[in-house]
Amino acid sequence: MTAEIIDGKAFAETVKARVGRQVEALKKNHDFTPGLAVVLVGEDPASQVYVRNKNKSTVAAGMKSEEIRLADTVSEEEVLAVVHRLNDDPTIHGILVQLPLPKQVDEMAVLDAINPEKDVDGFHVINTGRQAVGLPAMVPCTPLGCIMMLKDRLGDLSGLNAVVVGRSNIVGKPMASLLLAENCTVTIAHSRTKDLPAVVRGADIVVAAVGRPEMVRGDWIKPGATVIDVGINRIEGENGKTRLVGDVAFDEAKAVAGAITPVPGGVGPMTIACLLANTVTAACRQAGLEEPQV
Ligand SMILES: NC(=O)C1=CN([C@@H]2O[C@H](COP(=O)(O)OP(=O)(O)OC[C@H]3O[C@@H](n4cnc5c(N)ncnc54)[C@H](OP(=O)(O)O)[C@@H]3O)[C@@H](O)[C@H]2O)C=CC1
Ligand SMILES: Nc1nc(=O)c2c([nH]1)NC[C@@H]1CN(c3ccc(C(=O)N[C@@H](CCC(=O)O)C(=O)O)cc3)C=[N+]21
Ligand SMILES: [Mg+2]
């Protein structure tokens, strides 16, 4: 058996095209343009790639895009001042502060300062709590993109055994919460989990969000399972060039799974597409407009 490769890049293009049509309708019918601001602290090259991709996609969808770059020596007060300015800017409907932040800046304090209505990452505790109890919320982009790919492939997720490897606030925990809301039986595994391979072998759905290159092996995968690989790891290839790999040993897992997302071209592009979709949602809520159904 060889797994179906889930084409996150192609899926993301369809989502971005829909967002583009929605933005066009908002401009035409309401003279209204959604705006997204991304705050990038420091020079981390990977983060710069993400920010560039986001910026390009935002502009391609017809939205306003503002990019704020701050030195990695910046003080917490300066970051908070930028967030407050963006909270007060009526042309900005979405604010994303790229993580991680340098150690002198308290991440929780910065996330807490973002107006929850503009929190397109869905990382504010207000949005986390609203999502957890089933109220309308901004939902974190990476887990949202994973759910969209799972539902596209599997339809109803009710009753499926889902194992999420990783419990970060930005991926693992919200992923588990969204799978629970889809009526999965959810297990969250982490660095203290005993016999991780055995836990993963029970899964109909595996979501790997660990940050360890190719840690999840093929013989951990139940035959026919759906594997979502969130990991983005740069490793040294044979020829000295760096290449991007996920948290799953792709070739091994592909031989056993029913479907699997590749890295690159899987979860990453869907994250960006969901960010744009969240920005339109946030903008419409702030302006008191219905989201255009186009
Ligand atoms: N494609 C995308 O859009 C995105 C990709 N990413 C990528 O996803 C990955 C995870 O990101 P993030 O959640 O921020 O990472 P974190 O480092 O914040 O969390 C990693 C999690 O993995 C767990 N873990 C670490 N080692 C092991 C192990 N040996 N066995 C079991 N569990 C382990 C940790 O457990 P413990 O809590 O016990 O320490 C922790 O919960 C990274 O590669 C990141 O680059 C992240 C965001 C978006
Ligand atoms: N506040 C905040 N929100 C985030 O959502 C957030 C963050 N901070 N910090 C870093 C992680 C990582 N992340 C990625 C998004 C897209 C790709 C992506 O587009 N990847 C492409 C291309 C990658 C490449 O070639 O470099 C792919 O996988 O095909 C990757 C990683 C969002 N994150
Ligand atoms: Mg920090």
Q: How far is the CA of 184 from the centre of ligand 2 (A)?
A: 26
* Residue with CA nearest ligand 1 atom 48: 142
- Do 103 and 167 have their domain in common? no
Final residue belonging to a domain, choices 117, 150, 171: 117
Q: Is 85 annotated as a binding residue?
A: no
Q: How many CB atoms lie within 10 A of CB 241?
A: 7
In a domain, 236, yes or no: yes
Widest distance between CA atoms in the chain:
57
Q: Which ligand has an atom closest to residue 263 CA?
A: 2
In a domain, 227, yes or no: yes
- Do 104 and 165 have their domain in common? no
Residue 215, pLDDT above cutoff 90: yes
pLDDT in tens, 103-157: 999 999 999 999 999 999 999 999 999 999 999 999 999 999 999 999 999 999 9
For residue 35, what are the CA distances in angstroms to 62, 122, 235? 9, 16, 35
In a domain, 177, yes or no: yes
Q: Is 166 annotated as a binding residue?
A: yes
This model of the complex carries an ipTM of 0.98
* Catalytic hit among 64, 98, 119, 173: 98
| CATH number, domain containing residue 265 | 3.40.50.720
Residue 1, pLDDT above cutoff 90: no
Q: Is 168 annotated as a binding residue?
A: yes
Position in ligand 1 atom list of the atom nearest CA 263: 1
For residue 219, what are the CA distances in angstroms to 26, 253, 254? 49, 7, 11
- Do 146 and 258 have their domain in common? yes
- Do 88 and 179 have their domain in common? no
Which pTM was predicted?
Answer: 0.97
Q: Give dist(CA 209, CA 29) in Å, integer.
A: 41
| CATH number, domain containing residue 72 | 3.40.50.10860
What residues make up the domain containing 53?
30-117
In a domain, 287, yes or no: no
Active site residue 54: yes
Active site residue 104: no
Count how many domains the chain has.
2
Q: How far is the CA of 203 from the centre of ligand 1 (A)?
A: 18
Active site residue 121: yes
- Do 109 and 192 have their domain in common? no
- Do 55 and 102 have their domain in common? yes
Residue 212 Cβ inside 6 Å of ligand 1? The answer reads yes
